[in-house]
Structures are given as C-alpha cells and as structure tokens.
C-alpha cells in the first residue's frame, strides 16, 4: 500500500451524518440540509465498524490496516487491500476526507 496521509471522518455545513449502534451493527445515516437521507443508510459489519471508529481521529490507512490485521487476525496484505477498498468507498460517498495539515 502506498504511504498516504492521515484521513478522518468528514462533515460540513451542507452534509453531515449520524452514526448509531443498533443491535450490534453500526448505522451511518447521511444528513443533507438538516434532513436525514433514509435511502442512503450504510450498515457496517464489525470490521467496517472498527475502521469507522478509528477514523474519528486522523489516522493513515496503513495504521488502520495494521490495527485490523492484529485485532481480527487476518494477514497484513488482506487487511491492507480490504482497508484500501473500504476507505475508497467512504471517500467516494463524501464520508471521509484528508485530515487537515498538522493533524
């Protein structure tokens, strides 16, 4: 995996999200213009939930992959690939962004 800078959960005045734990699953509900978009709810499995939790603070994809590999007992290469794919899906949906400089 290429060395990437830190990434973090992202919201702004136009678009944000609400995160809830329900029955052992993490749900992310996008909010646009103070209205919840119930058609775009994201349900996260335990690994994705842990990644989302790690993204509360600026962190690199490499550190996320290392944490996932250790906590879920998967090979480093698989963790790195899976984290990269999930991070890209979060980025494409506007849920994460590069952390501000100096983070």
User: Residue 7 has what pLDDT?
Assistant: 86
Nearest to 61 by CA among 27, 86, 28: 86
Distance CA 35, CA 8 (A): 23
Q: How many CA atoms lie within 13 A of 9 on its CB side?
A: 16
The model carries a pTM of 0.81
Going from N- to C-terminal start, the domains of the chain cover: 9-94
Instruction: Please state which architecture CATH assigns to domain 9-94.
Output: Orthogonal Bundle (1.10)
Distance CA 66, CA 52 (A): 15
pLDDT digits (tens, 9 = 90+) for 40-75: 788 899 999 999 999 999 999 999 999 999 999 999
Higher pLDDT, 14 or 87: 87
């Amino acid at each position: 995996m290429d060395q990437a800078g830190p990434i973090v959960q992202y919201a702004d005045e136009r678009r944000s999200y609400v995160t809830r734990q329900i029955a052992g699953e993490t749900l992310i509900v996008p909010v646009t213009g103070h209205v919840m978009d119930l058609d775009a709810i994201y349900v996260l499995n335990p690994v994705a939930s842990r990644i989302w939790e790690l993204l509360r603070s600026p962190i690199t994809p490499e550190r996320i992959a290392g944490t996932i590999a250790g906590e879920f007992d998967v090979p480093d290469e698989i963790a790195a690939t899976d984290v990269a794919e999930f991070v890209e899906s979060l980025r494409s949906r506007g849920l994460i962004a590069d952390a501000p400089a100096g983070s």
